[in-house]
Amino acid sequence: MVREIKCDINDKEVTLLADLRLSLAEMLRQNGYFGVKIGCGVGECGACTVLVDGLPVDSCLYLAIWAQGKNIRTVEGEAREGRLSPVQQAYVEEGAVQCGFCTPGFIMTSTAFVEKHQGRACTREEIRQGHSGNLCRCTGYENIIRAVERCQKEDLDKETGPDQE
């Protein structure tokens, strides 16, 4: 049975059709949001992470029909007016991308993490914990953690000015 789903994707109101059994990941990919990767398909790898009302969700385990009336963010919506988001830019600066398959999911998890902890720099352990639902087969974890640290530091510098030597 097919249902009509009205939701907001990357700040745009959309109406999509989805079978009741379809996952959000599949619905998004069927509608051109190919940044949503399907790795394991069972909630283990985080490659399919999108934000639903600001919270990271494994979209392979989230039914498309649950997206009714929700605000969805995918990696496609993060760059604005040709500029990468602060998280994306930090990933580039820190070389936190290897094959790139896990990257969209990581970017969305990092984005939610940075937004949640705005105004303070988290410890490495907090950053690790906050990203524990995302796996990278290329094992580029160190650079990903550094990217999140950089992003948080730049954010704080904007608020308080850079550290004085």
How large is the angle between the packed helices 86-93 and 141-160, nearest 10 degrees? 130
Site size toward ligand FES, by CB under 6 A: 23
Q: How many CA atoms lie within 13 A of 42 on its CB side?
A: 1
For 69, counting Cβ atoms within 10 Å of its Cβ (0-12 exposed, 13-18 middle, 19+ buried), the class is: exposed
Min separation Cβ 33 and ligand FES, Å: 14
Stretch of 5-13, 69-77, 98-106, 149-157 lying at the interface with ligand FES (CB under 6 A) = 98-106
For 82, counting Cβ atoms within 10 Å of its Cβ (0-12 exposed, 13-18 middle, 19+ buried), the class is: exposed
Binding flag, residue 138, ligand FES (CB under 6 A):
yes
Min separation Cβ 62 and ligand FES, Å: 9
Which CB sits closer to ligand FES, 58 or 155?
A: 58
Binder among 30, 41, 84, 121 for ligand FES (CB under 6 A) = 41
**Strand 2-9 relative to strand 71-73: parallel, antiparallel, unpaired?**
parallel
Distance CA 140, CA 135 (A): 9
Question: What counts of helices (H) and strands (E) characterise the chain?
Answer: 5, 5
Which CB sits closer to ligand FES, 59 or 155?
A: 59
Binder among 43, 65, 89, 156 for ligand FES (CB under 6 A) = 43
Binding flag, residue 52, ligand FES (CB under 6 A):
no
Min separation Cβ 149 and ligand FES, Å: 18
Min separation Cβ 103 and ligand FES, Å: 6
- For residue 10 the two structure tokens come to 């990357």
Question: Which residues bind to ligand FES, rule: CB under 6 A?
Answer: 38-41, 43-48, 58, 60, 97-103, 136-138, 140
